[in-house]
Chains A and B, each alone.
Chain A
Amino acid sequence: MTVKLVDIASIIRSKNAGPYELTLDIIFKDREWYEKIKKAKAINRSLICGLYNIPEEDILNIIEFDPAGAVKITIKRPLVSGDIGETDVYGAQQHAPLLALEFDI
């Protein structure tokens, strides 16, 4: 079946993790969906590379965090927070492409 990420996650957000990194958190509504997504490795490097159009080396890590039933993706910021030309100083609005994700689980 096809499931939309927005229907199975309660929190989808982005934020700076220091001025050089951007971190994306997906916290699932329940344990069951978290485990399914984790088992299927549905959130992976190639998915994120495609979604944000970034090279694989810019993905610093993807971590499954069992205590919160969450998947965390950290990427290198294209520009350091506050640099000339940078557009989101706090990094708080870079999550939107995740909202369109759908999975065949």
Chain B
Amino acid sequence: MKEIRVLSPTAILGYGFPVASFKAGLERQPDVIAVDAGSTDPGPYYLGAGVSFTDRRAVYRDLSLMLKAGRELKIPVIIGSAGGSGAEPHLQWNLDIIREIAARENLSFRLAVIHGEIDKNIVLKAFAEGQIIRLPPGAPLTIEDISGSTHIVGQMGVEPFIHALEAGADVVLAGRSYDPAVFAALPVMRGFAPGLALHMGKILECAAIAAIPGSGSDCMMGYLREDHFLLEPLNPARKCTVTSVAAHTLYEKSNPYILPGPGSIIDLTAARFDQYNETMVKVSGSRLSPCPFYAIKLEGAKRVGYRTISVAGARDPVFISRVDEIIAGVKSRVEDNFSDISAADYTLLFHIYGKDGVMADLEPQKKITSHELGIIIEAVATSQELANTICSFARSTMLHYGYPGRVSTAGNLAFLYSPSDLKAGEVYRFSIHHLIKVSDPCALFPMEIIKIGEGQG
């Protein structure tokens, strides 16, 4: 029977995994070890600033185990969405970690580096030629969004990975990738059904999250065969059940039947989930429907200012009952005091935990029932200095603000820290979340082969 085995150690490189689970995976003789490092969930800062949302030492630890195992078993190790966001600084950050591991562990291998950052001029040209497609409910793209972005990446499909594997890569380090691509690339290259390979990748990219109890920090094995695949959690404390796997199919997607990706759509309308044995689930019927054109999802982030926050609490019942009017009063005092500063240069926000700090406009409960409130005063402005000024003035104004019925005249706020105001630095927003049409799936993603550790052994 034709079968290929894909080992997924962890949901995100750097989230960790138990060594025992990983060893159990290696004993099952995988054909490839793959991990996806990326997500847009942590928000726009990491892409915009070129910083990883995972910790260097944690990534070093995971990768060290994976690279050693890959060399020992002589199987490829594939890493997608390097550094979380997969732009050039993230890729270089991860490359540096790989070099350090190879030097310390005396490993030598052929490393394919696939770049995921997309030059602004390419996007501007495609925009001018009408090759950019909006993804509602996202807004239409503008030239300012493109030219103002600090980094733009594209989610590569399986093709650049296959290209790298065909070039003889032992290890592939790629920029921003479509999550399932790292898991599906070798199976697709070896002729397995791409619909099943990508659906299996879609589940493996979250490692053991699809098991019960679920975990993003534990290993999962996928066995892809001709007309189905099997999923096996590698920690005996976990099981895959039909419900746990089917439920995972819902996770973080808007439509669980139709999963669009680069160049094709995974169609799960005929997918079947069956219990294979006590801990494994069998999935069949996943198909791939072709798209009329090949498109890559672009992501971009741009800087919109600088932030300063102040963290405080309130315990006075009269203050709590009048908090809305107090906030309005403080805002008005800030505007009045700095009437020489344009209102467009800053935003002043009050996040009130215990009221609607979590849900804001979506909060159906309007009445405060808590005996205390958590207050975050937030200023975002065109410079750090201005954000500091606005936050500082709003903080001191709120501290001593006089309101009707006030009995606690020494101060309205309990500050958590000294200093009370924290500079949070640059603020970014997602500026691009659109498709770009391409004629060649690899064209946007240049690859280089680097010989690591040669001559050092």
Contacts and interface: CB of A to CB of B under 8 A. Distances in A.
B38 to A, nearest CB: 13
A17 B429 contact: no
A76 B243 contact: no
B430 interface: yes
Contacts of B361: 53, 78
Interface size class of A (residues with CB under 8 A): 35 or more
B41 interface: yes
A82 B252 CA distance: 17
Interface in B29-46: 40-45
Contacts of A51: 364
Contacts of B430: 19, 80-83
A87 B253 contact: no
Contacts of A15: 251-252
A42 B259 CA distance: 26
Interface in B271-293: 271-273
B243 A68 contact: yes
A15 B44 CA distance: 16
Given A88-B359, A97-B364, A81 B254 contact: no
A42 to B, nearest CB: 18
B137 A68 contact: no
Nearest to A16: B41
Contacts of B256: 63, 65, 68, 72
Contacts of B427: 84
Given A23-B252, A52-B364, A87 B429 contact: no
A84 B243 contact: no
B250 interface: yes
Nearest to B40: A19
Nearest to B48: A82
A102 B27 CA distance: 49
B254 A85 contact: no
B447 to A, nearest CB: 27
Contacts of B138: 20, 80
Contacts of B304: 84
A70 interface: yes
Interface in A34-90: 51-54, 60-61, 63, 65, 67-70, 72, 74, 76-90
9 contacts: A11-B247, A20-B137, A23-B254, A53-B362, A67-B271, A68-B246, A81-B43, A84-B349, A88-B359
